[in-house]
Amino acid sequence: MMMLIQIYAFTRISEAQQAAELGVDHIGFIAGDYGLVPGELSFVQARQLAAAVESNRRLPVGVHSVALTMATEVDEILRMAAAVEPDIIHISTDPWQVGVGAMEELRARLSPRIKLMKAIPVGGEETLQLAREFTPLCDFLLLDTKIHGMPGVGATGRTHDWAISRRIVELVSIPVILAGGLAPENVNQAIALVQPAGVDSNTSTNRPGDPVNKDMERIRRFVSAARIGHPS
């Protein structure tokens, strides 16, 4: 199976289209202007980007829009889903902020067309229990790095314990996407150690020193490195 490539956080339709043409499978963006993290889009802007992913015939078959949300209320997440219509919703808040009960409610109330991805902060043994709890309620788990004091899970540019991530991959029955400090220079090593279904990059595929705009050459290198030895 081909390694899934997920890249965040697009703010420009042109960059999203270029990335898809380079082989990115999951086009990620931040849906909701809450003033929490760089690259936030209004629902209108997010819908425009999602629609471009869906409708542009130049994009390869299988490219999907992924809306990352920092919302913590089920009704607000549903409001975003109705406005943006993404293929996948990425719940990137701390796990307890959208807990098991809220994930059950989302699963019940969301359109069956929309898949759910839950961010899991990789720490110690407790991470395995989190993965067990959320796996039945998700279509994907995203394993990322948490820095206390930063909102949500991820966008740190830092790696975590890949040995724990490997154990989660072996434990759960749904696709796992590995994130956290992955770059063209280390993604192939991470894949070899963790054996995830996919890999994710945000900060390491931005232009140097820029929290928002993407570096197309680094995206090209990331895709190439991730697919070495994993072409199909």
Per-residue pLDDT, 156 = 58
148's CB contacts (< 8 A; 6+ apart) are none
Position 147 confidence tier, pLDDT thresholds 50, 70, 90: low
Q: What is the pTM of this model?
A: 0.92
Helix (H, G, I), strand (E, B), or coil: what is residue 76?
helix
CATH for the stretch 4-227: 3.20.20.70
The pLDDT tens digits of the residues spanning 40-69 come to: 999 999 999 999 998 765 666 679 999 999
> Which neighbouring-strand residues pair with 201?
7
Per-residue pLDDT, 232 = 43
